Amino acid sequence: MGTAISLAGLKGQQVVYDSYYSPLSTSRPREGLEVHFSLLSGQVLTLTLSRKATVQAARRQIAGLCCVPDQAVHVICAGEPLPDELRLVGLEQTLHVIFNSSRLKGPVKGHATAGIWHGLQARALLLNPVPRGSSGEGTFHIHEGGMQSFLYTSHEIYSLSATKKPGGAGRNFAIRIEGLEKYRARIHRPLSHKAYALYDDATSSGAREMGVLYLRSKRRVGPSDVEFVMPRVNEDGAAACLRASSESICQRYDRGRVEHLQVLTGSCAESRIELRWQDDCIFEAQAADNSWAVSFQHPLSHFQAFGIMIGMLDNACLASFHK
């Protein structure tokens, strides 16, 4: 079983607010093809392709966007797969993109072969804000060897994991979504100050900033004041896309430019963490045995909640080390 997606000949339009998935191609040709992905959240993801692009180039861009192997993507016309070397410019018929489920991996037996586990669904659920009026729940485990994983109790087939990378300047964590071979994200804390930045891309160029966690207390141990600064989410659920290659969230916030930002404030203690926005409790975590029970609401996403926990507990680990 596969997932079919249509391609249509439309012109691309620049947007200020969108989902966290921007087209991989930064060019805006006058005439091109757009791939429209209808997500479960109701949002639409668009990938712009030049009409001079080959089928192989289209497959690679779509695979990269969906975080699946190139071999899992096929471009179909009139029921037949198109050869890689063929250019899109001469194709007037409706095209379809098929995900070959035999090439997709899933953490739960049966989900991959059913065509359910693929990059768009996972990223739509984990990286976009949870819908207004609903909440997200999960359990955060710290494993031996420095491996940290966040498992979602409401969606058991999805999980995020973080591994601390050795060496380098500051504190660096590599983030993975289980089942997506090509997905890479990161969390970075510089040596200069106590702030953890979340990126939806492991590369430095073109990475999307998902938020920055500030730990304001100068005490090494005990309760601490915290802030989480994130891209602003509109009433319709669309979020501002802020790229690390331009002005960063830290730079915007330090200069008082908060028109595209939201600031959650709160505190963290030994066994409890809380963040609030406009007098509402948006994020709450409670220590329980060898794990943390986490709950959060709109406008946060699962990815942001995961990053908040990593920053909080990594800072606590550093504080304990320097006691």
CATH, residue 287: 3.20.90.10
State the pLDDT at residue 311: 92
Same domain, 69 and 154: no
Over the stretch 174-215, which tens digit does the pLDDT of each residue have?
888 876 767 788 999 998 788 999 998 755 556 788 999 999
State the pLDDT at residue 162: 86
Over the stretch 87-104, which tens digit does the pLDDT of each residue have?
877 666 667 777 665 655
Same domain, 180 and 297: yes
Q: What is the CATH number of the domain that holds 41?
A: 3.10.20.90
Same domain, 208 and 317: yes
On whether residue 128 sits in a domain, the answer given is no
Same domain, 147 and 173: yes
On the question of pLDDT at 131 being above 70, the answer is yes
Over the stretch 260-292, which tens digit does the pLDDT of each residue have?
899 999 998 888 999 999 889 999 999 987 789
What's the whole-model pTM score? Answer: 0.69
Over the stretch 163-181, which tens digit does the pLDDT of each residue have?
888 777 889 998 888 767 6
Q: In the 3-class helix/strand/coil scheme, how is the chain assigned residue by residue?
A: CCCEEEEECCCCCCCCEECCCCCCCCCCCCCEEEEEEECCCCCEEEEEEECCCEHHHHHHHHHHHHCCCHHHEEEEECCEECCCCCEHHHCCCCEEEEECHHHCCCCCCCCCCCCCCCHHHHHHHHHCCCCCCCEEEEEEEECHHHEEEEECCCCCCCEEEEEECCCCCCEEEEEEECCCCCCCEEEEECCCCCEEEEECCCCCCCCEEEEEEEECCCCCCCCEEEEEEEECECCCCCEECEECCCCCHHHHHHCCCCCCEEEEEEEECCCEEEEEECCEEEEEEEEECCEEEEEEECCCCHHHHHHHHHHHHHHHHHHHHCC
Same domain, 149 and 287: yes
How many structural domains compose the chain? 2
Same domain, 64 and 155: no
On the question of pLDDT at 118 being above 90, the answer is no
Same domain, 240 and 314: yes
On whether residue 317 sits in a domain, the answer given is yes
Over the stretch 81-90, which tens digit does the pLDDT of each residue have?
889 998 877 6
Domain's final residue, options 101, 122, 143: 122
Same domain, 293 and 148: yes
Q: 33: domain range?
A: 4-122
On whether residue 127 sits in a domain, the answer given is no
- Compute the average pLDDT of residues 293-312: 92
Identify the band that residue 28 occupies on the pLDDT scale cut at 50, 70 and 90.
very low
Same domain, 155 and 102: no
State the pLDDT at residue 308: 95
